[in-house]
Amino acid sequence: MGTGHGMRMEDSYPAKKVLCTKPGENGYRRGSQKLRWCNKLEEDFAQVGCRNWRTNAQSREKWQKLMEEGKSHPLM
């Protein structure tokens, strides 16, 4: 599953829940993973100047354009 596809899913889908769940929301025990995959995505997109990747992921065209820009970015 790609990130854009996952973000366009309905909120009730398990894959979307995994993608968007914040640490501690599901009663994680102490010492569990502190960051989500989304946190890393936010860091990566910030490096290429994109602050609204979640909004762009809702539109397949915008998401594809963002992915193409990311591929040509020197930091990626």
Interval 31-76: pLDDT, tens: 656 667 778 878 888 887 888 888 888 888 988 888 887 777 776 5
The alpha carbon of 58 is separated from its chain's Cα centroid by a whole number of angstroms, namely: 11
Whether 69 and 56 have beta carbons less than 8 Å apart is answered as no
Count Cβ neighbours within 10 Å for each residue of 32-48 and write b for 16 or more, e otherwise. Answer: eeeeeebeebbeebeee
**What's the rounded Cα separation, in Å, for the pair 75 and 2?**
21
| pLDDT for the residue numbered 1 | 56
Residue type, 37: W
| pLDDT for the residue numbered 32 | 58
